[in-house]
């Protein structure tokens, strides 16, 4: 009998991608992200590395709380993620 691969779902609330666990990007808090939404995981990693600081990148901001960073990563719109990636120096900007 063939063994089934472990599948995970992307952490972005609007994404329905199911990806093999070993091929998914996992942020430092344990959320998996598909390739298209990887920058959202990078945002979480930045927040964790810097102790979830308050950041302001007009017209958006993220408060200094892990939960607020999770909400921003999971629910933030494309424009917010592009600005965050630019301001915070995240490598990928595809959202």
Give yes or no for a contact between 57 and 84, defined as CB atoms under 8 angstroms apart: yes
29-33, 37-41, 91-95: segment of lowest average pLDDT: 91-95
Q: How confident is the model at residue 72 (pLDDT cuts 50, 70, 90)?
A: very high
- Name the band, by pLDDT with cuts 50, 70 and 90, for residue 5: low
> When comparing pLDDT for 64 and 91, which is higher?
64
Domain locations in the chain?
7-88
* Sequence-separated (6 or more) residues with CB below 8 Å from residue 3: none
Note the pLDDT of residue 93: 43
Q: How confident is the model at residue 3, as a pLDDT?
A: 61
């Amino acid at each position: 009998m063939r063994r089934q691969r472990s599948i995970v779902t992307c952490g972005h609330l609007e994404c329905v991608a199911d990806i093999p666990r070993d091929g998914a990007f996992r942020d430092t808090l344990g959320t998996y992200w598909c390739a298209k939404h990887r920058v959202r995981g990078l945002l979480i990693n930045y927040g964790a590395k810097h102790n979830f600081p308050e950041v302001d990148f007009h017209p958006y901001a993220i408060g200094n709380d892990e939960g607020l960073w999770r909400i921003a990563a999971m629910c933030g719109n494309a424009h917010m993620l592009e600005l965050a990636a630019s301001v915070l120096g995240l490598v990928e900007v595809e959202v």
